[in-house]
């Protein structure tokens, strides 16, 4: 499996868009005028929704990789609610909605039914937010991994239960303010030492493929979906999708915030096969965590009325540990 082609863009001041000036082998799936548009107009996502963007790219890539033969199983959550306001839907592929916590089990059942019918050409994608994946659906997801069911499961991680009012989830980062982790007391926001690192949990199951991605690297996201679809068995993709409403960021800053999560080291981007890391996306320009924290109102209490330098330093140590663990520094910086 080859990595996504590296493309430099020099389009400032031009009217070129969508990579259409590139050769077909280097174009993104979204540059294809015949793309499937798996999620189309009419959905009710918030302006700047990272989840809508990530799902569009991921499912279009899956459709292209599978020749248009994909069944999607969706957990309850923002993605399900904003895309299927009864009796309407924005999905243009076979799509099932289950409960909040059993999407991995339902997806595994769909895959088993297709296998029994001899339909190995039809692929199954399960998807959900961090609440339905990291918390409520973790048992079903672990079972799917243990059985090595032929499902690609995608978690769109916006780091809280956004659909029900921005409550803390197992993916909420330390010190972030949510409706259930208010910025009060000596340890403001979500506490340190809680939560789950689900990509590492998935790797511990030694399944064929685990990867992380963000909506700041959409070509990378497409490439990882294509690589996952080349394999059989259980595969897991964890995508960081900033939520302007829950994070308190400007709607036009979604991609920038996701990029800052990468460049600070707070969200490592990597691939793993059979429990071993095989590739990482290096940090091109290392930034302090403060540059990621400041634009988000969920971290405003770290800077006002007095800067919490001790807490910020703790978060910086977390980022530094990620950088060291995954070897995220670009070669030229690591050797300097």
Q: What is the pLDDT of residues 58-99, one digit of tens each?
A: 999 999 999 999 999 999 999 999 999 889 999 999 999 989
What is the Cα–Cα distance from 220 to 58, expressed in whole angstroms? Answer: 10
- The answer for 315, left when phi > 0, alpha when psi is -120 to 50, beta otherwise, is alpha
DSSP secondary-structure letter at 266? S
Sorted by sequence, the CB contacts under 8 Å of residue 310 that are 6+ apart come out as none
pLDDT above 90: residue 28:
no
Question: Measured over all CA atoms, what is the biggest interatomic distance in the chain, rounded to whole angstroms?
Answer: 64
Looking at residue 335, its pLDDT comes to: 45
Backbone angles phi and psi of 142, in degrees to 5: -60, -40
CA 101 to chain centre: 18
Looking at residue 21, its pLDDT comes to: 64
41 against 114, higher pLDDT = 114
Nearest to 298 by CA among 250, 247, 263, 225: 247
What is the Cα–Cα distance from 1 to 117, expressed in whole angstroms? Answer: 29
From first CA to last CA, the distance across the chain in angstroms is 31
Mean pLDDT, residues 172-195 taken together: 91
The answer to whether the predicted template modeling score (pTM) of the entire model surpasses 0.85 is yes
What is the Cα–Cα distance from 63 to 93, expressed in whole angstroms? Answer: 9
Sorted by sequence, the CB contacts under 8 Å of residue 86 that are 6+ apart come out as none
Burial class (CB in 10 A: 0-12, 13-18, 19+), 271: buried
Whether 17 and 202 have beta carbons less than 8 Å apart is answered as no
Reported as a single tens digit per residue, the pLDDT across 263-321 is 999 999 999 999 999 999 999 999 999 999 999 999 999 999 899 999 999 999 999 99
Place of tokens 């790219």: 57
Mean pLDDT, residues 183-203 taken together: 91
What is the Cα–Cα distance from 20 to 32, expressed in whole angstroms? Answer: 8
Beta pairing partners, 239? 156, 213
Helix axes 50-65, 218-229, angle to 10 degrees: 40
Strand-pair category, 209-214 with 235-240: parallel
What is the Cα–Cα distance from 61 to 190, expressed in whole angstroms? Answer: 35
Following CA atoms 130, 328, 314, 254 in sequence, which dihedral angle do they give, to the nearest 10 degrees?
Answer: -50
What is the chain's mean pLDDT, rounded?
92
Whether 215 and 221 have beta carbons less than 8 Å apart is answered as yes
Please give the helix or strand (H or E) that residue 153 lies within, else none.
strand 152-157
Nearest to 200 by CA among 148, 296, 268, 117: 268
């Amino acid at each position: 499996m080859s990595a996504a082609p590296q493309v430099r863009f020099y389009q400032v001041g031009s009217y070129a868009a969508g990579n259409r000036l590139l050769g077909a082998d280097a174009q993104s799936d979204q540059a294809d005028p015949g793309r499937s548009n798996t999620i189309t107009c009419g959905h009710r996502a918030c302006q700047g929704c990272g989840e809508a963007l990530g799902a569009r790219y991921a499912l279009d890539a899956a459709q292209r990789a599978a020749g248009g033969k994909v069944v999607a199983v969706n957990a309850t959550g923002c993605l399900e609610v904003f895309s299927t306001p009864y009796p309407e839907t924005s999905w243009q592929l076979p799509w099932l909605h289950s409960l909040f916590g059993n999407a991995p089990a339902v997806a595994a059942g769909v895959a088993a039914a297709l296998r029994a019918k001899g339909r190995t050409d039809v692929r199954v994608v399960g998807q959900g937010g961090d609440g339905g994946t990291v918390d409520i659906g973790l048992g079903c997801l672990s079972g799917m991994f243990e059985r090595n069911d032929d499902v690609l499961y995608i978690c769109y991680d916006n780091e809280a239960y956004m659909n029900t009012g921005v409550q803390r989830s197992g993916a909420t980062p330390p010190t972030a303010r949510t409706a259930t982790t208010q910025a009060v007391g000596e340890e403001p926001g979500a506490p340190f030492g809680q939560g789950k690192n689900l990509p590492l949990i998935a790797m511990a199951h030694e399944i064929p493929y685990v990867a992380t991605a963000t909506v700041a690297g959409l070509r990378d996201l497409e490439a990882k979906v294509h690589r996952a679809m080349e394999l059989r068995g259980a595969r897991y993709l964890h995508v960081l999708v900033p939520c302007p409403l829950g994070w308190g960021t400007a709607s036009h800053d979604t991609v920038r915030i996701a990029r800052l999560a990468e460049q600070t080291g707070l969200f490592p981007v990597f691939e793993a096969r059979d429990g071993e890391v095989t590739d990482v996306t290096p940090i091109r320009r290392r930034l302090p965590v403060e540059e990621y924290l400041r634009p988000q109102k969920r971290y405003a209490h770290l800077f006002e009325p007095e800067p919490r330098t001790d807490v910020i330093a703790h978060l910086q140590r977390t980022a530094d540990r990620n950088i060291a663990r995954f070897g995220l520094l670009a070669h030229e910086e690591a050797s300097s």
